[in-house]
Amino acid sequence: MTSRFPQTRQVKTDSGNAVDFDIHGLVGVRLVAPSPANVAAVSAQIGPPTSRVLRRPDIVVRYVDRISAGTLHYVDLGKTASSNAGFILFPEGDGDRKVSIPFEQIGSDCEIFCERRVGWIPLLIPIINLTALKKHECVPIHASAFVHQGTGVLVAGWVKSGKSEALLAFSQHGATYVGGEWVLLSCDGNTMYGLPGTFRMWDWQRRRLSHLQHIGGNAGTFRLIRFLDAVQRGMPRGLASFGPLKLLCEGMPALRRQLNFRVEPKAIFGDRCGHLSGHPDKIFIGMVHSDERVLIEPAEPATVADQLACAMEFELTSLMSHYRAFKFAFPGMRNEFLEKVPSLLRDALGQALAAKEIYTLYHPHPVSFHDLYHAMEKVLVSLPAVAVRDHVEMQA
């Protein structure tokens, strides 16, 4: 759908350089007139720029000093608003920095206006993921991926389902990195592409892996949070409702969420980052259970396609919430592609996973990296059930 606002965007900008990012030849992103800090922020999100000039990028981000939006009509106070510059997002939630995202264009040629003071571009990764889906080339999956001794492995699931744990476990045994948080799976199921950029790692994961003690995070802050957490957990229940102790108990969930940091793949895998692509030979769907063992069972592709479609809908919650706010701000405007995303995800996942070898990976949390590696490695070196049956019949 053509944007309603191209003539009314009032921006203060200057001519400047353009920096291009090529996501495996699937999606192209161009930054127009960015500062070095803007390029660094986007590189942390989607990897380093390409050395070649893209013929026609799918997503253009135009950096300006200031978006002159005129009178703002807030939808979600301090977070989103309508204006004569289109639909405005405030990444910091305080109205000091602005980004204008044309939700009616997402999936097609999308032009975003962004003030230079903004760091990470909000919703950039889901917009890239949905652009790949719209082009009918790939389906996005929240997953980790690697190649171990020639076998391509993709590990997907809900939040905290073991994706990064599996990746880190195999990093100790020579695996080649493909993706840490987002993977684009070709619709024929033959190729997986890791979305370049940093990925999130938790303090407890680093402390359990001796070869990664040196990377990322503020060690002093993490020690303080762990100390406060130990105090709160050891506190007699009767004291939890008094003064500062009550504040500590109420604030600990937010503090625990700070025990993570983002890490460059090369800091863990070194030169084993390869081309960030591979053939997905075996797929695992992670799930935490109350048992202390790591258990792996075969899974049905159709069931897993439904599971991952639900997981992707969850991952798109923020973008779709803003899309609803956009439709509220501009009655009658809509993006037909976004309206169909749930069904498109299910269809694409069903097609991509139809003939794949898939397992459900049950594990405790936190999990032993040793146990996780050995349980998964047994599956990686074994023949799939159908191959074992065919082999037995041939021997007979």
For residue 115, the SS3 value is strand
> Which tokens is 389 given?
């049956």
Helices (H), the chain: 36-46, 124-134, 163-171, 203-208, 219-234, 243-256, 265-269, 301-315, 317-329, 336-339, 341-353, 369-380, 385-395
For residue 145, the surrounding DSSP H or E stretch is strand 138-148
Cα–Cα distance, 27 to 198 (Å, whole number): 18
What average pLDDT values come out for the chain (396 residues) when binned by 10 residues?
Answer: 40 62 96 96 95 92 94 93 94 83 96 95 97 93 97 95 96 96 97 91 76 73 74 70 70 72 88 94 98 97 98 97 97 97 97 97 95 97 55 32
- Contact call for residues 278 and 178 (beta carbons, < 8 A): yes
> Which tokens is 100 given?
């204008």
Scan for tokens 């991926």, then name that residue: 145
Q: In this structure, how many other beta carbons lie within 10 angstroms of the beta carbon of residue 231?
A: 13
Cα–Cα distance, 284 to 286 (Å, whole number): 6
> Which tokens is 81 given?
């608003």
| Predicted local confidence at residue 391, as pLDDT | 33
| Predicted local confidence at residue 154, as pLDDT | 98
For the chain, which domains are there? 10-134 (no CATH), 138-198+264-314+344-395 (3.90.228.20), 207-263 (no CATH)
| Predicted local confidence at residue 14, as pLDDT | 41
| Predicted local confidence at residue 336, as pLDDT | 97
